[in-house]
Amino acid sequence: MRRQRRGAARQNHATRLLDEFPEIWRLDSRQSAIRNDGEKVPVGASCWHTDHTNQTRPPKITALYPVRLPESGGDTCFANAYLLYEHLPEPLRERIETLRTVNGADRHVPFREEDREAFARPAVHPLVRTHPETRRKALYVHPLKMQYVQGMTPEQSDALIDEVLDKTIRPEFVYRHCWRPGDLLLIDNRACLHRAERDYDPEVGRVMHRIIIEGDRPA
């Protein structure tokens, strides 16, 4: 298990490392960050994504454990990234197969100077990665951490990712997890994308403990 760097946790006020257990992140909706437009950012990316593509060796596994849950809402949805890739229209699948994304700090929250060192070196990853164990190809992206696709402008890159997700996300490829006290969920970031639902009041408090386990360099 890889101990997390404290510098990488500062950018979002809702994400904190526990002093007594520095491998555990605490995600608390009551301490949500403020977006560039002044609105509060609920905990958890609302876009389909895989975790921490800003790292050279992104996590292979994310473990989530709920500590406090709202009475309703706050589910997490998971999409099979193998099927997302395999069911793209063939021309689009061929177009993205060799593309690479440049990743860094989240683009939806203000960048702070004290975070600069943690995000100084961009991480470059394939948009379609091969799972090192199953050898299957899967869609691999975090739209908010993606700065751009190599060879494209940021605007062109965003349009491409929107097109890919719009054409491939289907209900039959998605599992929606309704959290219950005591749940422990392990996410294979190499094989699925996930999205947090924001259908709850963040002030009520949705608190999760999270551990991420370092993976290999995506290929």
The catalytic residues are 49, 51, 194, 210
With a CB cutoff of 8 Å and minimum separation 6, the contacts of 185 are 63, 64, 65, 76, 177
Could you give the 3-state DSSP secondary structure of residue 67? strand
Structure tokens at 186: 């392990």
Structure tokens at 99: 């593309």
* 85: enclosing H helix or E strand: helix 81-86
For residues 145 and 167, what is the distance between their CA atoms, to the nearest angstrom?
Answer: 21
Q: Give the phi and the psi of residue 216 in degrees, each rounded to 5.
A: -95, -175
Provide the β-strand partners of residue 100: 126
For residues 117 and 71, what is the distance between their CA atoms, to the nearest angstrom?
Answer: 39
For residues 122 and 100, what is the distance between their CA atoms, to the nearest angstrom?
Answer: 12
Provide the β-strand partners of residue 5: none
